[in-house]
């Protein structure tokens, strides 16, 4: 309780007049949900969510007077928001909603008691409240915990205020929230919650794709996303929202040193998360690529003669599968393309042994990765999950060598902007072409030549272009060559 009081005291300068404004109307005001839970965990929260006995119109009137800016886009659900001193607050009338058990959209009904509001919340750890009462004009926080949320926080347990079957039937999205909180908070679900999630997994199909995507992003951005994903798989929810991931349980890693590709993928996700810069925003592209990097293995699995299995070109198949799944989840196009490209490129490194990276190979690696190169570095390093310390050191040493080669070549050339030595206008002038497909073909040839041989001087580049063009059009006049008749006329 002392931690909650400290959090209230931190915002006392504007909470006191806010609480006084509600009290003047004969209404109660309670800090509720995540901010209370996080304070109990010793975390400093930035969001301030409140519940109140006041009806929405009254909330709006109070916030119009108190706040610097007010908006009521959620007023039909009883929610009004405001900003003051750079701090956003969100205040919602006590709810006593009724659900039809078909959709997750409730019939919005406003309640009259704090306890009635709290018992309808998703999890007990989110059903604690601190009443902002006043004594002699000063805040006197009063703690309310009707469903045992504090005990759950102390035990790091995720349980529902009501029977989980009732809670999840009301709103199946709460099952995804359970996995999200496992990732974010490091809690474990209570056995009855696990059982209900497993038995009711198909109820998630009542939820729109857009809402599923939001919860998956929050899960993946958590401190321990591999644990949240594992809960989705173990309960069967992943079969409905990410079926490619549980499919990995059926395939054994080709190194035969992991229980299966699924466990390997969770390890890669964990290691990729740990490679992120401390204090930086979670890298969702990296994390998604780490989780999905091997999803092409089930479709490419082949038993090798003499034992063992192979997964040839699983990165190609996996990139297509990753893009397809992310499109189905309605991710933005740039996310889809970048994650797919990381999956596609994650095996490129393994095609070369130590000391076998030519300048051409380094250029292609950097050019194909583009802006994703830092994430590709992390993904490839995270993909090393061997239990053999000697092999692990060798793989990391080999990648160190590649990064050194990239740095050395970058010091000599601008690898981030590799372009042909001749641009499109020069190509058209030299070959006597008008804009069209042949110019693009010539440009692509010169780009490949640049990657293969490095920077050429202008005369050499022109000679190479003319030689290529002559080979493309046998019998055609060599560009830039004058006939004897033309010379005579001259």
Predicted local confidence at residue 213, as pLDDT: 97
463-469 contact pairs (CB < 8 A, 24+): 465/422, 465/427, 465/430, 465/431, 466/430, 466/431, 468/442, 469/431, 469/442
DSSP 8-state code for residue 42: T
Task: Please report the pLDDT score of residue 489 as a whole number.
Answer: 39
480 has pLDDT over 70: no
User: How far apart, in whole angstroms, are the C-alpha atoms of residue 161 and residue 124?
Assistant: 5
Mean of the pLDDT values across residues 113-118? 94
Percent above pLDDT 70 for the chain:
86
Report DSSP state, residue 196: H
Cα dihedral sign for 244, 245, 250, 252? positive
Residue 75, SS3 per DSSP: helix
Q: Which of 296, 369, 381, 366 is nearest to 337 (CA)?
A: 369
CATH architecture classification, 2-153:
2-Layer Sandwich (3.30)
Listed by start position, the domains of the chain span 2-153, 275-415, 420-489
Q: In a 3-state reduction of DSSP, which class is residue 49?
A: strand
Q: Tokens representing 236?
A: 């069967």
Helices (H), 2-85: 2-10, 12-24, 34-40, 56-66
Lowest mean pLDDT among 32-36, 146-150, 414-418: 414-418
Coil/strand/helix, residue 173:
helix
The pLDDT tens digits of the residues spanning 444-475 come to 887 777 777 777 778 888 888 888 888 887 65
Count Cβ neighbours within 10 Å for each residue of 202-241 and write b for 16 or more, e otherwise. Answer: ebbeebeeeebbebbbbbbbbebbbbbbbbbbebbbbbeb
pLDDT at 96: 79
Per the model's pLDDT, the better-predicted residue between 32 and 455 turns out to be 32
pLDDT digits 0-9 by tens, 150-201: 999 999 999 999 999 999 999 999 999 999 999 999 999 999 999 999 999 9
* Band of pLDDT at residue 352, cut at 50, 70 and 90: low
Q: For residue 45, what pLDDT band results from cuts at 50, 70 and 90?
A: low
- Say if pTM beats, i.e. exceeds, 0.85: no
Distance of CA 234 to the CA centre of its chain: 21
Amino acid 324: pLDDT = 98
- Please check the confidence at residue 103 and state whether its pLDDT lies above 50: yes
What is the maximal distance between C-alpha atoms in the chain? 110
């Amino acid at each position: 309780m002392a931690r909650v009081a400290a959090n209230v005291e931190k915002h006392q300068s504007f909470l006191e007049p806010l609480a006084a404004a509600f009290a003047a109307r004969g209404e109660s005001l309670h800090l509720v949900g995540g901010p209370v839970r996080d304070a109990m965990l010793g975390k400093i929260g930035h969001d301030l969510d409140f519940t109140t006995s006041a009806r929405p119109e009254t909330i709006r009137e109070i916030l119009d007077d108190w706040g610097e800016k007010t908006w009521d886009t959620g007023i039909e659900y009883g929610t009004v928001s405001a900003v003051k001193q750079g701090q956003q607050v969100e205040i919602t009338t006590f709810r006593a909603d009724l659900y039809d058990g078909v959709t997750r959209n409730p019939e919005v009904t406003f309640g009259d008691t704090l306890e009635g509001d709290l018992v309808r919340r998703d999890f007990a750890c989110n059903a604690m409240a601190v009443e902002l009462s006043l004594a002699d004009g000063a805040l006197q926080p009063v703690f309310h915990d009707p469903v045992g949320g504090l005990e759950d926080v102390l035990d790091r347990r995720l349980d529902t205020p009501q029977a989980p079957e009732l809670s999840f039937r009301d709103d199946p999205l709460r099952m995804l929230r359970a996995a999200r909180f496992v990732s974010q908070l490091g809690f474990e679900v209570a056995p009855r919650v696990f059982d209900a999630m497993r038995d009711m997994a198909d109820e998630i199909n009542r939820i729109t794709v857009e809402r599923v995507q939001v919860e998956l992003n929050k899960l993946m951005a958590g401190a321990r996303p591999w644990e949240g994903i594992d809960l989705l798989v173990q309960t069967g929810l992943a079969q409905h929202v990410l079926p490619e991931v549980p499919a990995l349980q059926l395939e054994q890693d080709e190194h035969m040193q992991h229980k299966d590709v699924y466990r390997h993928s969770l390890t890669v996700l964990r290691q990729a998360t740990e490679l992120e810069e401390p204090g930086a925003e979670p890298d969702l592209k990296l994390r998604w690529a780490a989780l999905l990097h091997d999803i092409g293995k089930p479709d490419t699995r082949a038993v090798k003669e003499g034992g063992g299995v192979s997964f040839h070109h699983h990165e190609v198949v996996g990139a297509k599968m990753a893009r397809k799944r992310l499109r189905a989840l309605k991710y933005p196009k740039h996310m889809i393309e970048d994650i797919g490209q990381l999956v596609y490129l994650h095996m490129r490194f393994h095609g070369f042994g130590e000391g076998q990276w030519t300048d051409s190979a380094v250029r292609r690696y950097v050019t194909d990765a583009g802006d994703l190169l830092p994430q590709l570095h992390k993904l490839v390093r995270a993909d090393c999950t061997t239990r053999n310390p000697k092999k692990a050191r060798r793989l990391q040493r080999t990648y160190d060598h590649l990064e050194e080669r990239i740095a050395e070549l970058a010091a000599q050339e601008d690898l981030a902007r590799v372009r042909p030595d001749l641009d499109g206008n020069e190509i058209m002038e030299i070959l006597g072409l008008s804009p069209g497909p042949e110019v693009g073909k010539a440009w692509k040839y010169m780009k490949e030549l640049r990657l293969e041989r490095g920077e050429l001087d202008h005369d050499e580049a022109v000679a190479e272009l003319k030689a290529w063009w002559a080979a493309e059009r046998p019998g055609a006049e060599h560009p830039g060559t004058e006939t004897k008749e033309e010379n005579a006329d001259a």
